[in-house]
């Protein structure tokens, strides 16, 4: 069933997209403990190298998150749309590995709107993009264009260490040996988030 859905997803207008052989369940644990997925090594592969692997430039954004106590955290990321993984269209989000002080400097250089939204995403200046091109990747978020469904996830990734139901719309499945958390939504695209092993 999922194979059929993958084929339906691939339509003529996406033929120009770069075809990638790597799949999200193909996670390599290197001798030094690093994780590699989609040809990207967490903490080592740079954003510039990722552009070469995906044969395109991602769209760079700065994100401001505010928690319930009013504390802010920052994230610089690049986003690639319409990548083809063995015929399946997906998006990839890569966060930059930059320390909080550097992120705070970027934040102070931006004009932020007056809003009560807890998450704000802003475009960044080209000079900021160029300055941090050689930053390594801190995390990878894979967002497929179709739902894998529970049985397909278990088939491809194996049984999860834990499966937590957060609410009626969200489950989180943990695969700690792969540095992976899968956020399974009922009413939104699923997200596969890879982070370095602790």
Domain limits, the chain: 2-194
Q: How much is the pTM?
A: 0.87
**pLDDT per residue as tens digits for the range 79-110:** 999 898 878 899 999 999 999 999 999 999 98
97 contacts 138 by C-beta, under 8 angstroms: yes
Length of the chain, in residues:
198
80 contacts 54 by C-beta, under 8 angstroms: yes
Sole residue written with tokens 């970027």: 106
**pLDDT per residue as tens digits for the range 24-45:** 999 999 888 899 999 999 999 9
């Amino acid at each position: 069933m999922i194979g059929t859905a993958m084929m339906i997803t691939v339509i003529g207008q996406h033929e120009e997209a770069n075809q990638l052989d790597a799949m999200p369940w193909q996670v390599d644990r290197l001798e030094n403990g690093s994780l590699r997925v989609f040809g990207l090594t967490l903490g080592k592969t740079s954003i510039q190298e990722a552009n070469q692997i995906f044969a395109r430039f991602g769209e760079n954004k700065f994100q401001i998150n505010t928690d319930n106590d009013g504390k802010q955290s920052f994230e610089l990321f690049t986003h690639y749309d319409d990548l083809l993984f063995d015929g399946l269209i997906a998006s990839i989000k890569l966060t930059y590995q930059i320390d909080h002080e550097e992120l705070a400097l970027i934040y102070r250089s931006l004009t932020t709107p007056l809003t009560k939204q807890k998450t704000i995403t802003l475009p960044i200046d080209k000079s900021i993009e160029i300055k941090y091109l050689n930053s390594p990747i801190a995390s990878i978020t894979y967002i497929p264009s179709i739902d894998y469904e529970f049985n397909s996830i278990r088939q491809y990734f194996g049984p999860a260490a834990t499966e937590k139901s957060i609410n009626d719309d969200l489950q989180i499945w943990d695969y700690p040996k792969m540095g992976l958390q899968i956020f399974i939504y009922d009413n939104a695209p699923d997200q596969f988030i890879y982070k370095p092993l602790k």
